[in-house]
């Protein structure tokens, strides 16, 4: 028989089995006797959020390094300014998250030179020196126009 962590005490307690409606069946606490399992409910909830966010319509996804804890390739101020500009510029151009471009800030990519660093997927293009001027060109030429901005590209597929 397994054990579970008691939410009120920081120690493990043996799992209890209870009869299920007098049928001679037993189930473990935390498991559903019938219907959807907790796993299935969580997946269904995630699928609803995916639809609500418009993720199926996303054509390109840009990740921007905004690692303010490390900040090895650019200052915290520069990284945050780039992130704010990226979000504001996409919104101003009418290319919101529910449209065909999604923007996500993330932690260090490990390049730690010529930052902030950005990656555009599914193209797999890596960009460096992503300040406001570079991001404006990346948004207009790559995210909307589909052409890689060679001047700032670190790696193209």
pLDDT string in tens for the chain (157-residue length): 455 555 555 555 555 555 555 554 555 555 555 567 888 889 999 899 888 877 777 788 899 988 777 667 777 888 899 999 999 998 888 876 556 888 888 888 778 788 788 999 988 899 988 899 999 999 999 988 889 999 999 887 7
Query: What global pTM score does this model have?
Result: 0.68
b/e sequence 6-30, b meaning 16+ C-beta within 10 Å: eeeeeeeeeeeeeeeeeeeeeeeee
Domains of the chain are 19-53 (no CATH), 57-155 (3.40.30.10)
Determine what percent of the chain falls in helix, strand and coil, rounding each to the nearest 5. 30, 25, 45
């Amino acid at each position: 028989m397994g054990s579970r962590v008691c939410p009120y005490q920081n120690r493990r307690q043996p799992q209890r089995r209870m009869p299920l409606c007098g049928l001679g069946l037993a189930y473990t606490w935390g498991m559903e006797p019938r219907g959807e399992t907790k796993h299935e409910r969580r997946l269904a909830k995630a699928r609803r959020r995916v639809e609500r966010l418009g993720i199926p319509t996303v054509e390109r996804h840009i990740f921007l390094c905004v690692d303010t804890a490390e900040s090895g390739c650019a200052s915290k101020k520069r990284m945050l300014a780039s992130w704010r500009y990226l979000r504001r510029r996409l919104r101003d151009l009418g290319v919101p998250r529910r449209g065909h471009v999604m923007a996500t800030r993330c932690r260090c990519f490990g390049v730690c030179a010529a930052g902030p660093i950005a990656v555009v997927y599914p193209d797999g293009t890596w960009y460096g020196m992503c300040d406001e001027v570079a991001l404006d060109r990346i948004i207009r030429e790559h995210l909307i126009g589909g052409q890689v901005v060679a001047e700032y590209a670190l790696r193209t597929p």
